[in-house]
Amino acid sequence: MGLVDQLVNQPHYTLVNQPRENDILSHKELFDSIPEEYLSHKEKYENAIRKTVLYYRLMQKYQNYKEGSTILDETRANYRNLVSFAVFKDYPPLMLHNGMFIPAIAGQGTPEQQKHWLKRAKNMEILGTYAQTELGHGTFIRGLETTAEYDPSTEEFVLHSPTLTSYKWWPGGLGHTVNYCVVMAQLYIRGRHHGMQPFLVQLRDEATHMPLPGVKLGEIGAKLGLSTVNNGFLAFEHHRIPRDRMLMKNAQVLKDGTFVAGPSSKLAYGTMIYVRVIIVNGMANLMAKAATIAVRYSAVRRQSQIKPSEPECQILDYVTQQHKLLICIATSLAFSTCARWLWDVYTGVMGQMESGNMDHLPELHALACSLKVVSTMDVSGLVERCRLACGGHGFMHSSNLPYTYGLATAACTYEGENTVLLLQTARSLVKAWQKGSKGKPLSPTEAYLMDKSPVPKWENTLDGIIAGFRRVSAGKVQDCVSKIDKLVKMGTSYEDAWNQTSVRLVAASEAHSRAVILATFRSEVSRAAAALSPPLSRVLHQLVHLYCVYWALERLGDLLLYTSIAERDVQELQQQYEDLLQKIRPNAVGLVDAFDLRDEILNSTLGAYDGRVYERLMEEALKSPLNAEPVNQSFHQYLKPFMHGKL
């Protein structure tokens, strides 16, 4: 199936754009009569719960959960991600229920535990979240303080939060919504530490929703975005749970307290890999949404003249506007392409691990880290660029660009803070370099590091640019290894040498990620294009070309350092880029229309399909409660006395 065909026909579209009679989005009760911006913090949450219940009831009615279809497949279809944008401008309070609670049970539970708990969770009989981060620790998982002490006399675990910093802090839905959660805690048996393990813990009474004895719960307060996710805190006071609540797919604790280690202690971190993989596709959706809004608005908005003798032009005719926005279209396609590729890598490695083969887990971890970072970093920046490209109207909540920015930028932090994850990938690259230098084979995505051939003459082609990015990455990795080796030879500890080289390591890791993304985007489009019509194939290749040239120009410094690119090559690249902007401009609106995001999903005064921007902006303005009366009471209460010198 061709790439754009995939875009238009992927499963979520069949759900979202299904015939009217069972079209979730045709249920207008899902939408707000009063824009949620005018609700209080508490009302926003309560309204979100109202819509959540409606939304899930419709999802259960319309979506065909094939018995045995895993949540991974359903989530991959992405419809929840897109349709939820229609109902919630921010994520719903149950984002973590589907996004991590269910995947954690699926990935960490025994078959019996999955059979019991997945059924209840997918039927929404219980609602859960994933509680790992604490007030004092998010990145450094080994430093988490919540303990789970096994008591063989009662065959129970005693969960305890020994300090304020050990309070679980951030989990979505934890404040007032969920009644269960997967808690990551340090396991102790007879005083011996057995690492971080996952525990399925009931937090609230299923009938009264009251917190159970020994469980302290609340929400963490107002945030930059995700205002309806109900992120909360959780503390345990020597809270006891049965032995069978430890999710024991990987490691087990027997009745007598014997600890049976799993094949790798890192398997407990598996849910994070899964979510990082999912996030890449989520970013592609956010980028498609913002690009659709900004490109359509740029086709409607007329401002100033290119020639004094002509009428005001569409702002999309300004080449600077094309420079701002056309890369956004290409970026969405690049990340949706890479997301599918990464998902196939993920499912392949998971399959191998089921049969005990762990060999490819480190490469998957490195890929998941680097693609999660680059997709969230790029999309956050480009969504903000879309907002700025819409001028004042982009600053309105009704444009839905500020909310979209909030959703994107949050992902730079959650599921592994971006710097930290790039350092994880750097760790893998340095190890690969050291391995390759001893003549050992490297993983497919890192094999290029050992290309010791002389730097070839630069070519302003896709092959040339992709090869150039690989040279940059390999050169940066080599420089890092040399610097670390030099510092160690001078008596610096490896850890200090690593830290002193970490700025370069992060850059090397990003360069590697870009090399992987360019190569994957290019090869996946070439493969898909064969099944597409020539015009469609041509425009997709133009987008791949634009994407590669854009990033070559963005990373000129690195290319000048590590390749043979010369001044005249750069001049030619710049011209290629401007020619591509001109070629793609006529298809810009058609390309964002091909994302096929309905008005309800865009939720935007600027991006609606009919282009009635000004009428929609005015309609939304009049919904402000302040416009209900010509004179607000504060005039009589404060302004009038003040202006008459009486206050």
Instruction: List C-alpha distances in Å: 505 to 2, 198, 415, 480, 604.
Output: 37, 32, 20, 6, 40
User: Are 536 and 9 in contact, with CB atoms under 8 Å apart?
Assistant: no
| Binding at 226: pick from ligand LZY4JE5M, ligand FAD, none (beta carbon under 5-8 Å per type) | ligand FAD
Should residue 413 be labelled a site residue for ligand FAD when binding is judged by CB under 6 A?
yes
| Binding at 362: pick from ligand LZY4JE5M, ligand FAD, none (beta carbon under 5-8 Å per type) | ligand LZY4JE5M
Least Cβ distance, residue 406 to ligand LZY4JE5M (angstroms): 11
| Binding at 148: pick from ligand FAD, ligand LZY4JE5M, none (beta carbon under 5-8 Å per type) | none
Which residue number places its CB atom closest to ligand LZY4JE5M?
282
Least Cβ distance, residue 272 to ligand FAD (angstroms): 9
Number of residues that bind ligand FAD (CB under 6 A): 22
Least Cβ distance, residue 274 to ligand LZY4JE5M (angstroms): 9
Query: Side-chain half-sphere of 524: how many Cα atoms within 13 Å?
Result: 23
> In terms of Cα–Cα distance, which of 30, 606, 611 is closest to 293?
606
Whether 363 is a known active-site residue: answer no
User: Are 180 and 164 in contact, with CB atoms under 8 Å apart?
Assistant: no
Least Cβ distance, residue 550 to ligand FAD (angstroms): 27
Residue reference for tokens 């083969």: 357
One residue of 215, 279, 349, 497 binding ligand LZY4JE5M per CB under 6 A: 279
One residue of 14, 22, 60, 139 binding ligand LZY4JE5M per CB under 6 A: 139
One residue of 98, 133, 230, 332 binding ligand FAD per CB under 6 A: 133
One residue of 138, 270, 464, 475 binding ligand FAD per CB under 6 A: 138
Here the tokens at position 265 are 């202690």
> In terms of Cα–Cα distance, which of 182, 169, 180, 160 is closest to 219?
169
Residues 360-399 that bind ligand LZY4JE5M (CB under 6 A): 361-362, 365
Which of residues 321 and 425 has its CB atom nearest to ligand FAD in the complex?
425
Amino acid at 282: G
Should residue 565 be labelled a site residue for ligand LZY4JE5M when binding is judged by CB under 6 A?
no
Residues 31-90 that bind ligand LZY4JE5M (CB under 6 A): 81
Q: Give residue 372's region: left, alpha or beta (phi > 0; psi -120 to 50).
A: alpha
User: In degrees, to the nearest 5, what angle opens at C-alpha 16 toward C-alphas 12 and 17?
Assistant: 115
Should residue 130 be labelled a site residue for ligand FAD when binding is judged by CB under 6 A?
yes
Q: Which of 74, 145, 149, 415 is catalytic?
A: 415
Should residue 271 be labelled a site residue for ligand FAD when binding is judged by CB under 6 A?
no
User: In degrees, to the nearest 5, what angle opens at C-alpha 472 toward C-alphas 471 and 473?
Assistant: 90
| Binding at 484: pick from ligand FAD, ligand LZY4JE5M, none (beta carbon under 5-8 Å per type) | none
User: Are 501 and 483 in contact, with CB atoms under 8 Å apart?
Assistant: yes
Query: Side-chain half-sphere of 363: how many Cα atoms within 13 Å?
Result: 17
Residue 37: count of CB within 10 angstroms of its CB: 17
| Binding at 95: pick from ligand LZY4JE5M, ligand FAD, none (beta carbon under 5-8 Å per type) | ligand LZY4JE5M
**Cα-Cα end-to-end distance for the chain:** 72
Radius of gyration of the chain measured on its C-alpha atoms: 27
One residue of 423, 487, 559, 606 binding ligand FAD per CB under 6 A: 423
DSSP 639: I
Catalytic residue set: 415
